Amino acid sequence: MARYFDVHPANPQRRAIVEVADIVRAGGVIAYPTDSCYALGCQLGNSDGIARIRSIRRLDDRHHLTLVCQDFAQLGQFVYVPNRVFRAIKAVTPGSYTFILPATREVPRKLQHPGKKTVGVRIPRHVVTQALLAELGEPLVSTTLLLPGQDEPMTQGWEIAQQLDRAVDAVIDCGDCGTEPTTVIDFSQPEPEIVRRGAGDPSDFE
């Protein structure tokens, strides 16, 4: 049964954040809010958790999971950011963007795109997500909480807790955080490609 945490969106209770971080460290899968809808997440290197996330969403190995990072310094540990790309990404982070970049050796092979050896990364603006990432001290492996057969991501924490009660280990509820996923920009090629238009303004990358 999933543990349910009702967390204040602007001033998250430290005790709740610590408990959720402990669940993640113990191998748990969580549903949590971001600045562009709810997401599923687990600890980096948690092979079972990654498999559970892919199973919940019915994703194959070619679907990019995302490393949700606390800041740019942490992001730089897991992807190569060419000089030509650095300023463009820095200008819009934190924010509702996911960037696909070549993965470093710090990224487990199972998280890398099997052909391109890339991984998605993002730095969210959401206060609760930032508090959780600060407590963990490492990224969360994540994907949008969009269930098979649904057109839009789930938005209500209590509803997520009911529907995914036996599929996840914890749900953080801090109110509606929207249904629009991140804008995805692929920087793994010489020219940036807008893979998905979402909550982040894509005009700077066109």
Which parts of the chain register pLDDT below 50? none
Give the model's pLDDT for residue 110.
84
Q: What's the CA gap between 155 and 146, in Å, rounded?
A: 10
Give the model's pLDDT for residue 81.
93
How many domains is the chain built from? Answer: 1
163, containing H or E segment = helix 157-163
User: 100 near 117, Cβ under 8 Å?
Assistant: no
Q: Inter-axis angle of helices 127-136 and 14-25, to 10 degrees?
A: 50
Give the model's pLDDT for residue 14.
97
Q: What's the CA gap between 144 and 201, in Å, rounded?
A: 18
Give the model's pLDDT for residue 141.
97
Give the model's pLDDT for residue 190.
87
Q: What's the CA gap between 187 and 183, in Å, rounded?
A: 13
CATH number at residue 171: 3.90.870.10
Buried residues in 123-132 as b, exposed as e (16+ CB within 10 A): bbebbbbbbb
User: 172 near 194, Cβ under 8 Å?
Assistant: no
Give the model's pLDDT for residue 119.
94
Range of the domain at 200: 3-205
